[in-house]
Structure 1
Amino acid sequence: MRWPWSRGEDDKKITSPTSWVETVKTMNWLSMFTEPRTLIPSLIFTVSTVTGIRLYKSYLRRIPSVNHIKPDYFRRRSLFGRVTAVGDADNFRLFHTPGGRMAGWGWLPWKRVPTAREFLVNKTIHIRIAGVDAPELAHWGREAQPYSKEALDWLSEYILNRRVRAYIYRRDQYGRVVAQVFVRKWFLKKDVGLEMLRMGLGTVYEAKTGSEFGDFEQRYRDAEKKAREDKVGMWTKPTILGRLRGEQPKAVESPRDYKTRHTAAEKQKKAG
């Protein structure tokens, strides 16, 4: 493409303003912008720009809270980030770090996970681990369940301040994101909910509505069954010495039964 100020075929510059105007008037502008050497770079630039914007919006834009997750993300996308706090033994808060270290998180100065608690509360995603129900801590005037502290300590040790990937299913009635969560341990990807069941520190989620397992329900049920048979965690039985001292096996109340019992008692109290 020849611009009005470029050299002509006679290798002479157009220096006269009159010559420049006349050249502009007589130029075939349509052919100039449809020439391959102009059209191809323009198309490449346009496609690259649009692709880059879509890539950023889909995979590299940080999601600060549950309210910023688009409905079409559920059951189709995963979130990668760092666990900043553990609440009960089956939920935690995630600071979304899209792209991880490859995108600069953790080593670029402007891409560091903050530590101020007051900032993190409003800039993190509340995650509820799918498929499992852990023993309840004491709250709302209710007593703590046996092994609730052990379950909380285990989860904190297992994922707190670590990077995890959460495959998101839906948003629950408490504004949390129900998700299957994975963490890397010794180069192996571990299902956090499944490991909790294997440790005997939770039960399979048994609510009538809202249960989420992905494609792993039977694996979860098998893990709980084995933990019961092996008598680990909340399924532990008295040792031989304990039985000689007269200790009796404790009746295990599942988190679901615990909630049902307290809900019924509270309704009866209000009615009375």
Structure 2
Amino acid sequence: MDNKRHEEISFFHPKIIIGTCILTGTILGSYKFYSTNFRRISSSSQIPQKYFHRQFIYGKVTSVGDGDNFHLFHLPGGRLAGWHWLRLTPKVNDFKKLKKKTIHVRLCGVDAPERSHFGKPSQPFSEEALEWLRYYILGKNVWVKPLSIDQYQRVVGKVLVWKFTGWKDVSEQMIKNGVAIVYEGKASAEFDGKEQVYRELEAEAKKKKKGLWFQKLVLTPGQYKKFYK
């Protein structure tokens, strides 16, 4: 019999304990990293509280249903996570496949002319505003900074889209081109610190009679809602 004494290693041996701790820490750290950076968000209720007013969510605009809101398919990790080259992004207006998979976003600081709802006639320039927004962001990749959740469970957010001249604030561009006015309501009013900028752009668009300001009589969306209430 060999005289060497064989060391019996039990589950409580320091090497086993240290190895287990390292493995557990690695697994938990990897899970936290995945949850923070690569887990898809598919509704406003899933957005972590720490994102509001601080972080942006990256995704693809899959549909635009009104002049001031749209649906976003979250693309966590962007190209680094394989989106657009290893992982396919969804097609636009594929409502059946995208049901309950997108975030409903309401553009902050703006109000676009009302489309027809519940038997009420559409507001003048509502279709032009809708077409402008579709042309500007539909199918594009955008960054959304969540600011709050409104009464319809939409994310009220600041939206940035890349154009040839750089990143553009979508709300700012809508006001500048006269396809929306500065938001007047008290509920869910969010400007991300740019209310004064928006109001100055609105005054300039009004002066130049751009977009909806070309009309002789302009009712704000708020006034229009009250009129047909």
1:91 to 58, 64, 69: 69
Could you tell me which residue of structure 2 aligns to residue 24 of structure 1? 7
Aligned residue number for residue 90 of structure 2: 114
Aligned match of 2:225? 259
Candidates 159, 169, 178, aligned match of 2:137:
159
How far the C-alpha of 1:46 sits from its partner, in A, is 5.7
Report the TM-score, using the length of structure 2 for normalisation.
0.89
Task: Return closer, same or farther for 1:43/1:206 CA change in 2, 3 Å cut-off.
Answer: same
Q: Deviations over 1:70-92 (max 9, x none)?
A: 33432232210000000101000
Cα distance, 1:147 vs. partner?
1.1
Counterpart residue number, 1:12: none
CA contact (8 A) 2:149 2:188 kept: no
1:142-153 aligned within 5 A: 142-153=120-131
Q: Does residue 71 of the first structure (1) align with residue 49 of the second (2)?
A: yes
Query: Which one has more relative contact order, counting CA pairs under 8 Å at least 6 apart?
Result: 2
Match of 2:36 among 47, 52, 58: 58
Map 1:234-253 → 2, pairs under 5 A: 234-236=212-214, 250-253=216-219
State the one-letter code of the partner of 1:218: Q
**CA separation in 2, counterparts of 1:26 and 1:206?**
72
CA distance in 2, matches of 1:164, 1:186: 14
Shift in alpha-carbon separation, 1:45–1:261, aligned structure 2, 3 A:
same
**Taking structure 1 as reference, are residues 142 and 49 closer, same or farther at Cα in structure 2, changes over 3 Å only?**
same
Number of equivalenced pairs? 226
**Secondary structure of the residue that 2:7 maps to in structure 1?**
helix
Asked if 1:140 corresponds to 2:118, the answer is yes
Q: What secondary structure, in the 3-state scheme, does the structure 2 residue paired with 1:121 have?
A: coil
- Give the gaps of 5 or more residues in structure 2: none
2:157 matches 1:179:
yes
- The match for 2:15 is 33
CA deviations on 1:167-209 (whole Å, 9 max, x unpaired) are: 0011111111111100000150100000000000111110122
Displacement, 1:149? Answer: 0.8
Q: Percent identity?
A: 41
Q: Which amino acid aligns with 1:251?
A: L
Conservation of the 8 A alpha-carbon contact between 2:148 and 2:188? no
Instruction: State the one-letter code of the partner of 2:89.
Output: V
Quick one: distance in 1 between partners of 2:165 and 2:58?
16
CA distance, structure 1, for counterparts of residue 111 and residue 227 of structure 2: 16
SS in 1 for 2:228: helix
2:204 to 215, 226, 234: 226
Contact 2:108–2:189 (8 Å) recurs in 1 = yes
Structure 1 stretch displaced more, 171-180 or 112-121: 112-121
Once residues 194 and 149 of structure 2 are traced to their aligned partners in structure 1, the CA distance between those partners, rounded to angstroms, is 19
Instruction: Please tell me the residue identity of whatever aligns with 1:151.
Output: A
One-letter identity of the residue aligned with 2:88: R
Q: CA RMSD in A?
A: 2.5
CA distance in 2, matches of 1:260, 1:26: 79
Measured against aligned partners, the alpha-carbon deviations of 1:16-45 in whole angstroms (never above 9, x if no partner) come to 6x767x422599x86x639xxx96x88776
How far residue 261 of structure 1 moved from its aligned partner, in angstroms, is 1.5
Question: Which position in structure 2 is the counterpart of 1:213?
Answer: 191
Q: Secondary structure at the match of 2:98?
A: helix
Length-normalised TM-score, structure 1 = 0.75
- Write the distance in 1 (CA, Å) between the matches of 2:22 and 2:160: 39
| CA pair 26-107 structure 1, distance change in 2 beyond 3 A | closer
